[in-house]
Amino acid sequence: MWGGRFSAGPDAIMEAINASISYDQKMAKQDIEGSRAHAAMLAAQGIIDSSDASAIRKGLLTVLSEIEGGMFAFSTALEDIHMNVESRLTEIVGPAAGRLHTARSRNDQVATDFKLWVRGQMDAAIEGLTALMKVFIGQAEAGADMVMPGFTHLQVAQPVTWGHHMMAYVEMFARDRSRFEDARRRMNESPLGAAALAGTSFPIDRHMTAEALGFDRPSANSLDAVSDRDFALEFLTSCSICATHISRIAEELVIWSSAQFRFVTISDRFSTGSSIMPQKKNPDAAELLRSKVGRITGSLVALLTIMKGLPLAYSKDMQEDKEQVFDAADSLMLSLAALTGMVADMRPNEEPLRKAAASGFSTATDLADWLVRALNMPFRDAHHVTGALVKMAEDQGSDLHELSLEQMQSVEAQITDAVYEVLGVENSVASRVSYGGTAPAQVRAQIARWKEVLS
């Protein structure tokens, strides 16, 4: 490969540190796709003979079939997927294969391959997130009226509905989906034809190869084209935020499925047992999902560190970009599939949810709001009165709705028995009719909106 410049081959250690074929073979399909587009363009521009281009394009399909069929022998000595493919192509079609690399470099070749691969993973993530959002919507629709506790600081705060809680994750994962869509639009420029860093003197048609490969346009600066890895960083950033969201619902499922909560039952398909304790049913899938964020975010930090301080244009440091992205993509897609299965299968336990919703003085805010509405009391005064009533109930081991009217009037004389209408959890959630609130009517409106969006 090095031609006449070097008089000796690389040291074994140099070969080991320099080779990337052990992982970049993952881009074989993209490498061949890019090469076929490049060969067609070279022929269309009269840079190589059409007969050579035809032989190259057919030979590349043979190489691809060998790789996909597991019959291809990858060589570390040939360093990377590009040289492995070109070497085998030479064995198949002869000297014509040597014309394929006209007007390009491994710098623009790898940038193109990597972009194509990442773009495919973005499409897969968008599809996976859409499927996940749909199962959350299914859960929300089934439990639009089901009451559960809403928490702040993991303390019971106010009653909400199961449907409202599920729709919160629809919004969360919708933002993840939009991040991938946005990043995909921004990265969809073709580096092919930028060559090593300065472009080429051959009369190539970069718009032709960009169109053939599904890019919106060729990149406008050859230096930037070969040195840019923003698309990989944006992909990892989107993966990391998405994994954080996955970790949050996974944590809730771990808590909710515990014997102390019993809010949900996770199906046997996503649970494991204990080797010593026969009664155990462990939410291992949720725990593993919770841990994936560390791995995925670690990949982002690694690539940010690799790219920090690199001068233009290409540096060999950038060979270390792919393993991080490959691993994060695999982890995210597995996580999305596992969470989709868990959410689709899980069963909310209505009675424990309702009982917990009624605990912890969860309707205290409703009482304060009632004092403002019914008695025209300033909210800060209503807050103080409600706090005193909460303390009274707490001291006698009861809940707010169990206080007698006389007890309430001992704190605030104007309170009437109409106050009890707002102290039930069902009345509480039904009253939250503001846009985006937890009232079942609002939840159903959001479900309908998202169903239309996703259709």
As averages over each run of 10 residues, the pLDDT of the chain (455 residues) reads 56 77 91 98 98 97 97 92 95 96 96 98 98 98 96 90 98 98 98 97 98 98 97 98 98 95 91 77 91 96 95 89 95 97 96 90 86 92 92 89 89 89 86 94 97 95
Task: Please check whether residue 421 is in contact with residue 366, taking contact to mean a CB–CB distance below 8 angstroms.
Answer: no
* CA 119 and chain centroid, separation: 14
Cα angle 162, 422, 432 (rounded to 5 degrees) comes to: 45
In which element (H, E) is residue 264 found? strand 264-265
Task: Please check whether residue 171 is in contact with residue 375, taking contact to mean a CB–CB distance below 8 angstroms.
Answer: no
Give the E-state strand segments of 64-164 in sequence order. Answer: 147-152, 155-161
* CA 332 and chain centroid, separation: 6
Task: Please check whether residue 411 is in contact with residue 377, taking contact to mean a CB–CB distance below 8 angstroms.
Answer: no
Neighbours of 350 (CB within 10 A): 15
What are residue 152's DSSP bridge partners?
A: 155
Task: Please check whether residue 99 is in contact with residue 150, taking contact to mean a CB–CB distance below 8 angstroms.
Answer: no
Separation between Cα atoms, residue 259 and residue 73, nearest integer Å: 54
Separation between Cα atoms, residue 442 and residue 445, nearest integer Å: 5
Q: Give how far Cα 262 sits from Cα of 257, 258, 347, Å.
A: 5, 6, 10
State yes or no: is 153 an active-site residue.
Answer: yes
State yes or no: is 267 an active-site residue.
Answer: no
Which pLDDT score is estimated for 320? Answer: 87
Q: Give how far Cα 422 sits from Cα of 120, 209, 211, 223, Å.
A: 52, 66, 62, 66
Task: Please check whether residue 109 is in contact with residue 82, taking contact to mean a CB–CB distance below 8 angstroms.
Answer: yes
Q: Which of 153, 201, 275, 434 is catalytic?
A: 153
Q: What is the DSSP letter of 272?
A: B
Q: Give how far Cα 380 sits from Cα of 87, 371, 386, 421, Å.
A: 78, 11, 10, 22
Q: Which of 22, 65, 274, 398 is catalytic?
A: 274
Q: Which two tokens stand for residue 356?
A: 């917990």
What is the length of the chain?
455
Which pLDDT score is estimated for 117? Answer: 98
3-state secondary structure of 161: strand
Separation between Cα atoms, residue 144 and residue 341, nearest integer Å: 21
pTM of the model: 0.90
Separation between Cα atoms, residue 132 and residue 170, nearest integer Å: 8
Which pLDDT score is estimated for 2? Answer: 47
Which pLDDT score is estimated for 344? Answer: 96
Q: Give how far Cα 303 sits from Cα of 232, 313, 323, Å.
A: 8, 17, 10
Helices (H), 96-229: 106-142, 162-187, 206-212, 222-227
Closest Cα partner for 131 from 271, 443, 341, 446?
A: 341
The full 3-state SS of 388-419, as one line of letters, equals: HHHHHHHHCCCCHHHCCHHHHHHHCCCCCHHH
3-state secondary structure of 19: coil
3-state secondary structure of 183: helix
Separation between Cα atoms, residue 353 and residue 88, nearest integer Å: 63
DSSP β-ladder status, 155-161 and 189-190: unpaired
In which element (H, E) is residue 196 found? none
